[in-house]
Amino acid sequence: MTERKETTAGLILMAGASSRMGTPKALLKIGKKTMVEHILDEALKSDLDRVILVVASLDGEMGAILVPYEQNRKFRVVENRRSREGMGSSIIAGLDAVSEECGHIMVILGDMPGVDAHIINHLLDGYLASHKNMGAITVGRKRSHPVIFSRDRYGDLRKLRGDRGARGLLDGHEEEVCLVNAPSAYDDRDMDTPEDYRAFWGNQEGKGR
């Protein structure tokens, strides 16, 4: 385990409209859990010091699901009432909730069920050991998610607008980016459409899950 002097927060983005899916992605079933429960459970059992969940609203089923997590000291939920402005607004809302002591923030997309505690720790350890100020998981030769940034980059994250994600900040700064190759079993697909969801489950059944 890499020694750390500053804490790291995980920022889980789940405030999207799910317009292409046709139903809230956070409430899709991943095994016996909803997507939001699955990703939260993995993040909370990882080596992240804080876990910030950004949602559009706590009304209805989402609020009820999150009640048991309120007792976890690592956890905080943030409502982004400006979620219609795009992913950038959710990242900014999450940053506003991160205490100044957090020297690093990992951005985790809330529609990637393949993200688990192992992949979070794998990226975190590789990034911290590199002493660089940005990092990302790679799959083959492709840069993927999650991504991670030091406090030096918080100002850049706050400038994000629309649906431009945090990964775009890595473009053109290769010398400052730690790329951590994912284990071969890592499935980095995201769930945007019903077809994506069915394809994910077909792949899981093929693995014997």
Domain ranges within the chain, ordered by starting residue: 7-206
- d(CA 35, CA 209) in angstroms, rounded, equals 16
Strand ordering across the sheet containing 177-181: 75-79, 50-55, 7-14, 102-109, 142-150, 134-139, 177-181
- d(CA 94, CA 88) in angstroms, rounded, equals 10
Q: Is 137 exposed, middle or buried (0-12, 13-18, 19+ CB in 10 A)?
A: buried
CATH of span 7-206: 3.90.550.10
- Which residue's structure tokens are 């940005």? 134
Q: Are 110 and 77 in contact (CB under 8 A)?
A: no
Model confidence pLDDT, tens digit, residues 59-83: 889 999 999 999 999 999 999 988 8
- Beta strands 33-34 and 142-150, pairing class: unpaired
Model confidence pLDDT, tens digit, residues 157-191: 999 887 777 777 888 788 899 999 999 999 999 88
